[in-house]
């Protein structure tokens, strides 16, 4: 029996809503289901304005344009993140400044930011790893002091909170993902959250290929034209219809995922407590969203053996990011760094265990049992 690392799922009216979208006569973006998703996100998370995109990558690219990032600017971000976080700003010609992460949360180490900020810093990009919030009060204060923007990469943090505030709504701009590996899914998909009024009108234009088409449909102009740079960042109505059915079931999905996280935490607590394995620490002021559960092996060699052992037993586990500062393009677009020791330590040891909505308790117990057996805890 194989237990996959991830499994896409249907929970409610996904297929019914897709059929409705087809029958509506509009499959292109910004139809009735896109609008319903916008309203849901804005109401649920008290967001100033949300705009669905075809991916979180697209949301990050829009954020980079809205931040007016360009050649000569610097953008601070963790090296321990997905390539899209960096690509969005490299595409604008910025120099990437990679920050190390914390040993506990695996998030950007905010204590290092004062040494990284310069007069050229245009934006700070905290990535909320595993739905656990970065220290946003310190990050926002530093950004305000130095006149730069905060762009939250909240791809993994939909429905997670920091100090009772929804992640993605705390910085100037926030970016969500609805990729099939995330909590609420639409295959591909994302959203840009605009947390200040000054971004709203231009964001609509950038998202609509640089045209004022949205204003035209609202009757604010009698024709639309090319007025700014932009691209086609809209999702189709099929994507939005699938997503809206998932959002309707957000509470059920979240409760299931939190329970899965808790079961892993309980089942492996003695290994963690005795220091045989490490894991991500969740501070008391963070309400995570049950996005993932990861452990740290003792070494790269042990991590490799663990993943191979689980695979032999029919359990799919994965490592996560290869640090961007060690990649060819990361080195091309960033300032040279002597090394980011915590990033490199975590990246070599981290293993993500199977985690998806509907993971059966018996299957999860099998995963836990195999991990315990590998480390000699029976």
Q: What is the CATH number of domain 14-248?
A: 3.40.640.10
Q: Please provide the DSSP assignment of 148-171 as one string.
A: -EEEEE-TT-TT-EETTEETTSSS
Q: What's the average model confidence in pLDDT over 272-287?
A: 98
**How much is the average pLDDT of 198-204?**
97
CA 147 from centroid of its chain's CA atoms: 25
Give CATH 3.90.1150.10 domain extents, the chain: 250-374
pLDDT confidence of residue 266:
98
Q: Does the predicted model carry a pTM greater than 0.85?
A: yes
**pLDDT tens, 75-111?**
999 999 999 999 999 999 999 999 999 999 999 999 9
Return the pLDDT at 220: 83
Its CATH class, for the domain covering 250-374, is alpha beta
Report the run of H or E that residue 74 belongs to, with start and end.
Answer: strand 74-78
For 107-126, what is each residue's pLDDT tens digit? Answer: 999 999 999 999 999 999 99
| Mean pLDDT for all residues in the chain | 97
214 or 153: which leads in pLDDT: 153
Q: What is the pLDDT of residues 167-186, one digit of tens each?
A: 999 999 999 999 999 999 99
Confidence label for 148 from pLDDT (cuts 50, 70 and 90): very high
Q: Per DSSP, what are the bridge partners of residue 232?
A: 208
Say if residue 223's pLDDT is above 90. no
pLDDT tens by residue, 255-265: 999 999 999 99
Do the beta carbons of residue 90 and residue 243 sit within 8 Å?
Answer: no
Tokens representing 22 are 């087809």
CB half-sphere exposure, 145, CA atoms < 13 A: 10
Task: Give the whole-angstrom CA distance, residue 192 versus residue 175.
Answer: 5
What gap in Å lies between CA 257 and CA 63, rounded to an integer?
29
Strand order across the 74-78 sheet = 49-53, 190-194, 173-177, 149-153, 121-124, 74-78, 95-99
CATH 3.40.640.10 intervals, the chain: 14-248
Integer angstrom CA distances of residue 157 from 128, 132, 166? 6, 7, 9
Per-residue pLDDT for 338 more than 90? no
Tokens of 99: 């920050």
């Amino acid at each position: 029996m194989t237990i996959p690392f991830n499994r896409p799922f249907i929970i409610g009216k996904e297929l019914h809503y897709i059929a409705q979208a087809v029958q509506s006569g509009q499959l292109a973006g910004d139809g009735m289901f896109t609008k319903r998703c916008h309203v849901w996100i804005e109401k649920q998370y008290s967001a100033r304005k949300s705009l669905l995109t075809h991916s979180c990558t697209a949301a990050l690219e829009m954020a980079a344009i809205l931040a007016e990032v360009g050649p000569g600017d610097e953008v601070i971000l963790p090296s321990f993140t997905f390539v899209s976080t960096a690509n969005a700003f490299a595409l604008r010609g910025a120099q990437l400044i990679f920050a190390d992460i914390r040993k506990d949360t695996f998030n950007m180490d905010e204590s290092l930011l004062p040494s990284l900020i310069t007069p050229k810093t245009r934006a700070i990009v905290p990535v909320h790893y595993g739905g656990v919030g970065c220290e946003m009060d310190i990050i926002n204060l530093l950004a305000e002091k130095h006149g730069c923007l905060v762009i939250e990469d909240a791809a993994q943090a939909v429905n997670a909170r920091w100090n009772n505030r929804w992640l993605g709504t705390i910085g100037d701009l926030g970016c969500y993902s609805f990729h099939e590996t995330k909590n609420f899914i639409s295959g591909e998909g994302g959203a840009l959250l605009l947390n200040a009024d000054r971004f709203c009108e231009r964001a609509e234009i950038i998202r609509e290929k640089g045209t004022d088409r949205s204003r035209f449909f609202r009757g604010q102009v009698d024709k639309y034209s090319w007025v700014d740079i932009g691209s086609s960042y809209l999702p189709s109505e099929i994507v939005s219809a699938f997503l809206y059915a998932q959002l309707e079931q957000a509470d059920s999905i979240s409760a299931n995922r939190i329970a899965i996280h808790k079961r892993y935490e309980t089942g492996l607590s003695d290994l963690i407590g005795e220091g045989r394995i490490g894991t991500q620490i969740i501070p008391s002021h963070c309400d995570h969203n049950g996005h993932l559960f990861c452990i740290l092996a003792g070494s790269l060699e042990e991590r490799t053996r663990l993943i191979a052992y689980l695979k032999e037993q029919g359990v799919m586990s994965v490592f996560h990011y290869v640090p961007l500062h060690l990649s060819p393009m990361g080195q091309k677009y960033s300032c040279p760094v002597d090394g980011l020791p915590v990033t490199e330590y975590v990246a070599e040891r981290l293993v993500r265990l199977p985690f998806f909505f509907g993971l059966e308790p018996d299957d999860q117990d099998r995963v836990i049992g195999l991990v315990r057996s590998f480390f000699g805890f029976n």
